[in-house]
A and B are shown apart, each in its own frame.
Chain A
Amino acid sequence: MNLQGAVEELDIELNPSLVEKLYEGYEIRRKNFGDRIFFYAPGFKHYEVDDFSVNSPPKFVDISVTGRQCELMCDHCASKILWHMIPATTPDELVKVGRELKEKGIEGVLISGGSDKNGYVPLWEFFDAMKYLKEELNLLLTCHVGLVDEEYVQGLKEAKVDAVLLDIIGDNETIAQVYKLPHKTTEDYDRSLKLLKEAGLRIVPHVIIGLHYGKIKGEYRAIDMIAKYEPDALVLVVIMPYYGKAKFQLLPPPKTEETAEVILYARKRVQTSPVVIGCARPAGAERVKLDAYAVLAGVNGIAFPAEGIVTYSKALGLKPVVSPNCCSTVYSMVFQTMETS
């Protein structure tokens, strides 16, 4: 690993003691997954930096079953994550949108939406339409859920979803204050993971670093909760203050070094399933540093890598693989690649 040369390419300064610490994660990744690293550019935004761009038409898009509506309107998001999604607010509309997307060459979709006041993404009436997308249109079908119960999990199973994505929160105050769910606790999130896992569904939990108003609070516990259920992949994202409500916009995200420590912890707790950095994280110069630390901490992939990160990865001796899919599909790519390499 030519670390010094690789960092010189990026023109940034990394903390030497942290770099040394992160190397443990790098070794875990190398031992369990080889030297491939995945870079993702899903179709919802144009992304072009000096050493990375995807010029092919989108292959994977997001659909919201609630349009831009969300009953929770959490402080960190205020429904803005839904704004770029294709709306399909009735089952008939979802089928119609699915057919149109298939005709345009789309290969996979994320079915998402705003939450109701109990933290559920209201997919119930869409399960048959989702099954149509999977079985008749042969689309890769992932969905973003909040909390789930037995009936909901049964619906997901019958819809034959390929993977279930859900945010896991490891702190009750964060659940109450940021997510506006004072009647829910970490136990509800733990139970959701358990139900999904016991049903045999692929789970790709997400942890939002800095969710508690830019502070690190429940992240380590959330990772512990997830590790217990052996996820198919773990996605780490970082709070983007400019996305949220006014009071969130003025808050700084966690320090990059603090975030890197969380990534390392995730790598150590989830050693044999892929850990990836999702598309949501602060923009600008700090993103370069964060992505550089993340590669050293042993992540399997990064969505929308900062400028210079692909070159840096090559300089470290890694072999980049580029995908136009959502990073949550890493579970399929990692193991396919390992079988063929």
Chain B
Amino acid sequence: MAEVNGCPLPEDRLYYINPDKNAFIWVKEEGDGVFTIGLTSVASAMAGRLVAYTPKKVGKAVKKDKSVATIESGKWVGPVPAPFEAEIVEVNDALKGNPALVNDDPYGQGWIAKLKPADPEAAKAELVDANKAAELLQPIVQEKGVKCG
């Protein structure tokens, strides 16, 4: 598995990395044109232990880089940016009661939302694989002193 500074990046999914938008997102295709998104372990380590998850409503259309949900820790409040223009088709109700699932299981139970882009192929065009994501994340983790585990 790819990793950066001890932060794993599973190879069974794609990534949207855009430091200018604080976007450090994983994206997994689920079939039927639906993609699950979540925070990478790098993003969850940067944010710290989450205390709140406030998703946008199911059915809402979001533009690329616009907020799908707001997350909050003791030192960070910010949006989870959409990796592409899409409709929100599901949010993770389990996070409302236990937002720290994002920290404990970022690639599993801590998923953020399921999105349906109008054009799935175009949506995937700007995403990168795990190895490229590790390369893009390397300077970020060094600058911010992020490490996992």
Contacts and interface: CB of A to CB of B under 8 A. Distances in A.
Contacts of B78: 46-49
Nearest to A283: B52
Contacts of B96: 284-285
B51 A283 contact: yes
Contact of A46 (B53, B54, B66, B76): B76
A132 interface: no
Contact of B75 (A44, A283, A284): A44
A242 B77 contact: no
Interface string B121-143: 00000000000000000000000
Contact of A242 (B51, B53, B54, B57): B51
B29 interface: no
B77 A47 contact: yes
Given A11-B57, A242-B51, A307-B54, A284 B79 contact: no
Interface in B36-91: 51-54, 57, 66-67, 70, 72, 74-79
A117 interface: no
Interface string A41-60: 00011111110000000000
B146 to A, nearest CB: 14
Interface in A255-309: 282-285, 287-288, 304, 307
Q: Which of B52, B66, B67 has the most CB of A within 10 A?
A: B52
Interface residues of B, number: 17
A45 to B, nearest CB: 5
Contact of B53 (A44, A45, A80, A284): A284
B19 to A, nearest CB: 14
Contacts of B22: 48
A84 interface: yes
A287 B51 CA distance: 13
Contacts of B76: 45-46
Given A283-B51, A284-B52, A307 B75 contact: no
Contacts of B77: 45-49, 283, 304
Nearest to B67: A50
A283 B72 contact: yes
A261 to B, nearest CB: 24
Contacts of A45: 74-77
A307 B78 CA distance: 10
A284 B22 CA distance: 20
A266 to B, nearest CB: 25
Nearest to A81: B74
B79 A50 contact: yes
Contacts of A11: 57
Interface in A1-20: 11
Given A48-B79, A284-B54, A285-B54, A307 B70 contact: yes
Nearest to B55: A285
Nearest to A282: B52
Given A49-B67, A284-B96, 15 more contacts: A45-B74, A45-B76, A47-B77, A48-B77, A49-B77, A50-B67, A84-B74, A282-B52, A283-B52, A284-B52, A284-B53, A284-B72, A287-B52, A307-B54, A307-B70
Interface of B: 22, 51-54, 57, 66-67, 70, 72, 74-79, 96
**In the complex, the 8 A-B pairs of residues with the closest C-beta atoms, listed nearest first:** A283-B52, A284-B52, A283-B72, A48-B78, A45-B75, A47-B77, A46-B76, A242-B51
21 contacts: A45-B77, A46-B76, A46-B78, A48-B78, A49-B70, A49-B78, A49-B79, A80-B74, A83-B74, A84-B75, A240-B51, A283-B72, A283-B77, A284-B54, A285-B54, A285-B96, A287-B52, A288-B54, A304-B77, A307-B54, A307-B67
